[in-house]
A = this chain, B = another copy of it.
Amino acid sequence: MSIDPLPRVSAVDALVTVLRERILDGDLPAGERLVERELTERYDVARHTLRAALRALQADGLVRIEPNRGARVAALDGEELRELFALRLALEREAAFLALERHDGRLPASVHDAAAELARLAARRRTGWADVAAAHNAVHGAMVAAAGAPRIARAYEALDGELALFTMQLRPVWTRDRLGPDHIALVAAIEQDGPDVLRDHLDEALTALTTGA
C-alpha cells in the first residue's frame, strides 16, 4: 500500500492557506500591496515565515514579488489572461483526450454529474454567483481528474487558482443562464466530436471574459 501523508500544518502552510483564501475571496483585491509588517502583526508570525509564504504564493501565480519593492496580489491584464487560457487549453484538451481513452470513448459519470449539478444550480435564481462559479469549476475539474494524469491535474490546479483571481474580479452574470446548458452540451460534444471542441468553448469563454471587462 502506498503511504499518504497526513496534512501537517506548518506555520508557513497555514499562512499560505489563509492568504490564498483571502485573495480568492476578493478580500485582498488584485493589485493590493502586501506589506510584511502588517501581515506579521496580524497573524503573529515572524517575518521569515511570512516571506516564505509569499514566495509560495508567488510560485502559484497568486502573488507577484518585485525585488526590494514588496509583494502585491497578482493582477492579470487581458493579454496575460489570453496566455493563461492557451495553457489551460493545452492541459484541458489533453486531459479530455486521456479521459476519453480511459473510459472507452465516453466521459465518466463524475463529469456528467458535475455538469448536471451546474445546470441545476445555475437555473435556480437564489443560488449565489460564488456557488455557480464553484460548480462551473467542478465541471472542468472533474474532466481533468478523469484523465488520471496527476501532473496535468496539478498544473491545472495551480492555473485554476490564478484564473479564479480574475473571474472573481468581474462577475459575468450575463452568461449565467447559458452556463448550465452550454456545459451539458460541451460534455456531449466532447464525447461525440473529440477533445478539440474545447478549443471553441474556451475561446468563447475568453471572449466573454475580456469583453465583459
Interface residue ranges, A against B (CB under 8 Å): 8, 10, 48, 51-52, 55-56, 59, 67, 83-84, 86-87, 89-91, 93-95, 98, 147, 149-152, 155
**Is A86 within 8 A of B94, CB to CB?**
yes
Bound together, the chains give a CA A48 to CA B50 distance in angstroms of 12
The residue of chain B having its C-beta at the shortest distance from the C-beta of A10 within the complex is B67
B-chain residues with CB within 8 Å of residue A90 when the two chains form the complex = 90-91, 93-95, 149, 152
Q: Within the complex, which residue of B10, B91, B151 is in contact with A83, where a contact is CB–CB below 8 Å?
A: B151
Least CB distance, A51 to chain B, in whole angstroms: 7
User: What 11 additional pairs, Cβ within 8 angstroms, besides A87-B155, A94-B94?
Assistant: A48-B48, A55-B55, A59-B59, A84-B151, A86-B151, A86-B152, A87-B152, A90-B90, A90-B95, A90-B152, A93-B94
Verify B83–A89 contact, CB threshold 8 A: no
Shortest distance in angstroms between A210's beta carbon and chain B's nearest beta carbon? 16
Interface of A is mostly: helix
In angstroms, Cα B48 to Cα A150, docked, is 31
Residues on B with beta carbons closer than 8 Å to the beta carbon of A87: 91, 149, 151-152, 155
Closest CB in chain B relative to A38 CB, distance in Å: 20
Taking CB atoms, residues of chain B closer than 8 Å to A67 are 8, 10
Cα A151 to Cα B59 with chains together (Å): 13
Alpha-carbon distance between A98 and B87 when the two chains are bound, in angstroms? 11
Inter-chain contact B59/A86, CB cutoff 8 Å: no
A94–B83 touching, CB < 8 Å: no
Q: Report the Cα distance A51→B51, complex, angstroms.
A: 11
What would be 8 A-B contacts, judged by CB atoms less than 8 Å apart?
A10-B67, A48-B48, A52-B52, A56-B59, A86-B94, A86-B147, A91-B91, A155-B155
Q: What is the CA–CA distance of A52 and B12 in the complex, to the nearest angstrom?
A: 12
Residues from chain B with a CB closer than 8 A to the CB of A59 are: 56, 59
Contact B86 A149 (CB under 8 A): yes
Q: Please give, as numbers and ranges, the residues of chain B lying within 8 Å of A56 by CB-CB distance.
A: 55, 59
